[in-house]
Amino acid sequence: MTHLASLLGLRGDRAFEAAYWEIFDSFFGKHNAPMVKATLLARVSKVEGSGNEVDRVCLGLRQTMGWAADAIERKALEKIGQRPPEVMPQASENRATT
């Protein structure tokens, strides 16, 4: 699973993407967010589906910090008036790596 928005049919939704980047920037801070984003984009070059930046960052974040990915995605969905799906991430999506 790339991200929660795909479960709601919101892959490529401009409102979700705008909300996602707003929450992402707020979560990591305006100075750190660009570096975290660049690191995740460098780490994940391809994903299923459109493979846009949101998809790649969501997957990279889910692979390294599943709890953070989940929190950011849920807040972004709530911001656009969508109820986040009640799903349990797969174990491999919640595992931190070093």
Q: What residue spans define the domains of the chain?
A: 4-9+17-84
Q: Is the pLDDT of residue 97 over 70?
A: no
Q: What is the pLDDT, as a whole number, of residue 50?
A: 64
Name the average pLDDT for the chain: 81
| 17 phi/psi in degrees, rounded to 5 | -60, -45
Q: Count CB atoms within 10 A of the CB of residue 51.
A: 14
Q: pTM above the 0.85 mark?
A: no
Question: pLDDT of 35-68, one tens digit each?
Answer: 999 999 998 877 766 678 888 888 888 888 888 9
How far apart, in whole angstroms, are the C-alpha atoms of residue 82 and residue 92?
A: 26
